[in-house]
Structure 1
Amino acid sequence: MEKSSLKSALREVRGNQTQQQMALELNVSRELVSKIENGTRTIPPDVSQKLMQTSENARFAFALRHEYTKTGPVWLDGPDVDLHHASVKEKTIEEMEEVIVALRNFNFARSLKSISHWERQEIDRLLQESVEAITALEHLVVVLCENMNISYTETWGTHYQSLRAKGWLS
């Protein structure tokens, strides 16, 4: 997400609290809270974890991930975006269908080191379709968690448990 998205997510987490009240809860200085909100300082990992534990704010988690990695989906907040859960569902289906078509159209049977220029363009298209689908899916998870008052953290926790049970995660 853009810095402004993290700032707005942090302000949403802070709610009606003053910066001083939040700082006291987090055991940090008010100045640090101010710098984080102004975008001149990143959120230390321990502070971000504490904020997630206390706020359970899915958009904040979304913003944090982008803040730390500068990759991944950004929260869609432009004038033409429709984040109603039904619209997000339909957009997710559309994006998933497009990535499935791109996956089916590319032949993975041969070495990727010997692909042609044309095949490289197909891979680029597949990657773009994939990140669009990831963005749609991430929005779907956040919107559903928010609208249904379901814990975003617990949703991911259940997923991690499933991965461990399958032996895919240590």
Structure 2
Amino acid sequence: MSKSKLTQSFKEVRNGLTQEQLAMELNVSRESISKYENGHVRIPADITNILMAKADSPRLAFAIRNEYTKTGPIWLDGPNADLHRSSVREKALEEIAELVKCLTEFSFAKPLKNLSEWEKPKLHHLLEEAVEAITGLEHLLVVVCEETGISYTDVWQNHHTQLRAKGYVQ
């Protein structure tokens, strides 16, 4: 396994603890911590769950989802990423507007399996806009949670509770 955002996030979550101290907290060997951090061994799901409960790190959540599912947004850390709350807000609004435009222009009236060849690229574009909007919104959530100290995990848990209360999930 090569170094990844997950191994970087794992190191950040250690937050000043030595590998030995974290190993004791996680009930694993110090050598295991070293292997996780260096990308030599995949971090087990139970360890990532413990780390999320302990650290409530939105960036770790991003990295876990991407590492294990190869889906979802990845943390934007390139030279063109501006993660100031105002910039993230503006980008999220821009991406949402582009998605709304695509949704408004695309008809879902007929079964999607019957789309013509010229309609399929429009649907694909709509899906790309949805992913960009999701990425923008998730970055907004993370930036605001990190800056204010609001728990990222609690925001999601509250959302899940509301979904259950409304009968959308069991």
Coarse TM-score class (shorter-chain normalised): over 0.9
The residue number in structure 1 matching 2:164 is: 164
**Are residues 1:34 and 2:27 paired?**
no
In structure 2, distance between residues paired with 1:60 and 1:112: 36
The residue number in structure 1 matching 2:14 is: 14
The residue number in structure 1 matching 2:71 is: 71
The residue number in structure 2 matching 1:150 is: 150
Normalising by structure 2, report the TM-score: 0.96
**Are residues 1:96 and 2:96 paired?**
yes
* Deviation of the 1:3 alpha carbon: 4.5
User: Any residues of structure 2 matched to 1:106-145 within 5 Å, and which?
Assistant: 106-145=106-145
Normalising by structure 1, report the TM-score: 0.96
The residue number in structure 1 matching 2:84 is: 84
Task: Give CA deviations for 1:73-92 in whole Å, capped at 9, x if unaligned.
Answer: 11000011000011000000
In structure 2, distance between residues paired with 1:112 and 1:15: 48
Letter in 2 for 1:145: C
The residue number in structure 2 matching 1:5 is: 5
* Deviation of the 1:111 alpha carbon: 1.5
In structure 1, distance between residues paired with 2:106 and 2:50: 44
In structure 1, distance between residues paired with 2:63 and 2:40: 16
Letter in 2 for 1:10: F
* Deviation of the 1:68 alpha carbon: 1.2
* Deviation of the 1:45 alpha carbon: 1.6
Letter in 2 for 1:99: L
- Is the 1:52–1:61 Cα contact (8 Å) retained in structure 2? yes
* Deviation of the 1:5 alpha carbon: 1.6
Q: How many residues align?
A: 169
- Is the 1:82–1:88 Cα contact (8 Å) retained in structure 2? yes
- Is the 1:20–1:29 Cα contact (8 Å) retained in structure 2? yes
- Is the 1:3–1:67 Cα contact (8 Å) retained in structure 2? no
Q: Which moved more, 1:146-155 or 1:38-47?
A: 38-47
* Deviation of the 1:4 alpha carbon: 2.7
What's the secondary structure of 1:117's corresponding residue? coil
Contiguous gaps of at least 5 residues in structure 2: none
In structure 2, distance between residues paired with 1:67 and 1:40: 14
The residue number in structure 1 matching 2:43 is: 43
Task: Give CA deviations for 1:73-124 in whole Å, capped at 9, x if unaligned.
Answer: 1100001100001100000000000001111111100121111111000011
Letter in 2 for 1:88: V
